[in-house]
Amino acid sequence: MASMDITDELVMAIDELFRNQRKHYRTITQNLSISRAETQTLMMLSRNAPVTMTELADALRVGRSAISRIVQRLTDLNLVVRKAATSDQRRHVVTLSLKGKNLAEKVRAQRLAVLGSWLSKLPAGDQAQLLRILHELNAMAFEERETGSANSDLPNPALPQK
């Protein structure tokens, strides 16, 4: 078996970490009576509210009709409040209700308990280095998303190859 180069190993290790994190995240969200997309919306709002529906859809990378359904369900559950923007009555802004804030904090605490326990086992210097690297990777990803230069020439693995 040919040895993988470091990039292949990094990609595989990151994928594995994401899979493990998603398993724990699923366990957390199973008891909430809301979907993963709804939970992600709550968490996004807990960091960025108030936001417009368009900003929320863009941040979560979902369509406007999908975000409308998600926000409507969260509104029905009294987890978010949607109201007309003061600057433009045609636009709506979304914020968390008190119940939504409490639920988001509960999810954040549970996620921190899992990920925090893993990270706390790393030496402080490794934690600082990992944080620096993650910030750099996120900046690169943001730049590619904003400029539209994200490897558009790569084949889509979901599509049949010619």
Whether the Cβ atoms of residue 77 and residue 26 lie closer than 8 Å to each other: no
Question: Domain map of the chain by residue range?
Answer: 14-147
Provide the pLDDT confidence category of residue 77 given band limits of 50, 70 and 90.
very high
Query: Is the link from the previous residue into 50 a cis peptide, with omega within 30 of 0?
Result: yes
Tell me: the pLDDT tens digits for 85-128?
A: 787 777 889 999 999 999 999 988 888 888 888 889 999 999 99
Distance CA 138, CA 109 (A): 23
- What letter does residue 152 receive in the DSSP assignment? T
Whether the Cβ atoms of residue 8 and residue 70 lie closer than 8 Å to each other: no
Q: What pTM value is reported for the model?
A: 0.67
Whether the Cβ atoms of residue 71 and residue 41 lie closer than 8 Å to each other: yes
Cα 52 off chain centre by: 17
Fold adopted by 14-147: Arc Repressor Mutant, subunit A (1.10.10)
Q: Mean pLDDT of all residues in the chain?
A: 84
Whether the Cβ atoms of residue 94 and residue 49 lie closer than 8 Å to each other: yes
Inform me whether the pLDDT recorded for 4 exceeds 70.
no
What distances in angstroms separate CA 72 from CA 76, 79, 89, 102, 148, one per listed residue? 6, 10, 18, 19, 30
Distance CA 45, CA 34 (A): 15
Residue type present at position 114? V
